[in-house]
Structure 1
Amino acid sequence: MRLSLLPKKSEFFVLFEQHAQNAVEAAEALAKLFGDFTDVENKVRDIHAIEHHGDKLNHEIVRHLNETFVTPLDREDIVGLGSKIDDITDVCYDVSELVLLFKVKSIRPPAVRQAKVLVTAANEVLQMLKNLEGLKNLEPYWIKIHTLENEGDQIWREAVAELFAGSDDAIEIVKWKDIYSLVEVAIDRCEDVANIVETIRVKHS
């Protein structure tokens, strides 16, 4: 394997942006599934294709890392960013798979609200990563993402409380608690990306 002394200009940052754009597409596809619960199997198949593309992008980041001697960021931060962005996409697909597995008949309103928060958070991640190379104007994005994660937590708490208070069907409760919780995990992964970016900014300040 031939190692280059310096990375190609912006190579890692371009890949991060592509990876984050893919995560946005996964979040939007999940929100579309929840907002228009028809043709479910095809929509889940579309999300799977997005997830598969995300895996390829993450592998590409690792490949470039292995071939580059001097990196623009610490290696653990490059790996961490790639992994957490990939997690956003993976969890979107996992949620869609649960919907199929559980044979869900209709989508509850809190899940629609969660998906909207997720789409907004994923877009904030994308815009933040577009600014990562210059290490400027990052703070407003991570602050917004933290705020969105708190909003997601609140929706999750209210949704679970409503679920237990309003249903005597134990199976339905378990199904929807799992779905709500997994969407919240996707929002949490957006915050994980923000936390890594915040750490990178501190290291380079």
Structure 2
Amino acid sequence: MAHNQGNSLLARLFDRVLPTAPDFFGLLAAQSRAVERTVELLVRFMETGRADISAEIHNDEHAADQVKVANIHTLNEAFSTPIDREDIYRAIVNLDDIVNFCKDTVNEMDALTLQPDGHTLEMSKQLLIGATALRNGFSKLGHNTGDAALDAEGARKATRQVEKLYRVALADLFQGDNYIQMFKKREIYRHLTNAAERMAHCASTLHDIVVKMV
């Protein structure tokens, strides 16, 4: 009994001096799954224009902010991390930014009384491909890390497609003479490319993590 008590005391002292690191891989995987869900909602909104889906995206953004704050707090309090703190921080913030731009897109469409069109739908579909790749990649960290590099490249490829679609959308948009409508829609297209830009940053961070771990 005394021997077991001594081991228990030693374990408590060890945990106090060198506490167990939080499961940052699990936190990033969960956050990336939440991002994928929001982008799925964005696609559904671009397919239907339904106000209830817009409201869901807005709610997701509030929840995402809470996750970001909680994850950054966990990072700041952690004694040690399995990868560079800066990489974890960049991933947390860029994942959250993707959700923010999804919210900004639907909010401004509502404020400007704009309906989805074929361009916003196709751009959103590419964002979903990228979000799914990020979710796959972050879910592999710590147990199948090397393969996550392919997911990072898949996300980057999707963001490049968004940029191509954006240029096509602009070319179509500026064919007429309804300049007010043109500038309104350009703002919406730009929000979607901003989401893609943050997605590209996130993919680069994922790739950096993989390179440092393998």
State if a TM-score over 0.5 links the two structures: yes
Structure 1: gaps (5+ residues):
none
Residue 31 of structure 1: aligned partner: 43
Query: 1:50 and 2:60 equivalent?
Result: yes
Aligned residue among 127, 138, 155 for 1:118:
127
How many aligned residue pairs are there?
198
Q: Give the Cα separation in 2 of the matches to 1:77 and 1:128.
A: 14
SS at match of 2:174: helix
Query: 1:194 and 2:203 equivalent?
Result: yes
Q: Give the Cα separation in 1 of the matches to 2:185 and 2:18.
A: 50
After superposition, where does 1:41-120 map in structure 2 within 5 Å? 42-104=52-114, 106-120=115-129
Question: Do the aligned partners of residues 200 and 169 (structure 1) sit closer, same or farther apart at CA in structure 2, a change above 3 Å counting?
Answer: same
Deviation at 1:4, TM superposition (A): 5.4
Larger radius of gyration: 2
Q: Give the Cα separation in 1 of the matches to 2:172 and 2:17.
A: 56
Structure 2: gaps (5+ residues):
1-15
Give identity over the alignment, percent: 24
Q: Is 2:149–2:206's contact at 8 Å kept on the other side of the alignment?
A: no
Q: Is 2:39–2:131's contact at 8 Å kept on the other side of the alignment?
A: yes
Q: Give the Cα separation in 1 of the matches to 2:17 and 2:44.
A: 43
Q: Which amino acid aligns with 1:50?
A: D
Aligned-residue RMSD, C-alpha: 1.5
Name the structure where helix makes up a greater proportion of residues. 2
Q: Give the Cα separation in 1 of the matches to 2:117 and 2:160.
A: 20
Q: Give the Cα separation in 1 of the matches to 2:181 and 2:18.
A: 55
Q: Which amino acid aligns with 1:110?
A: H
Q: Is 1:3–1:67's contact at 8 Å kept on the other side of the alignment?
A: no
Query: 1:7 and 2:21 equivalent?
Result: yes
Q: Give the Cα separation in 2 of the matches to 1:20 and 1:199.
A: 17
Deviation at 1:126, TM superposition (A): 0.3
Deviation at 1:61, TM superposition (A): 1.0
Structure 1 stretches of at least 4 aligned residues deviating more than 6 Å after TM superposition: none
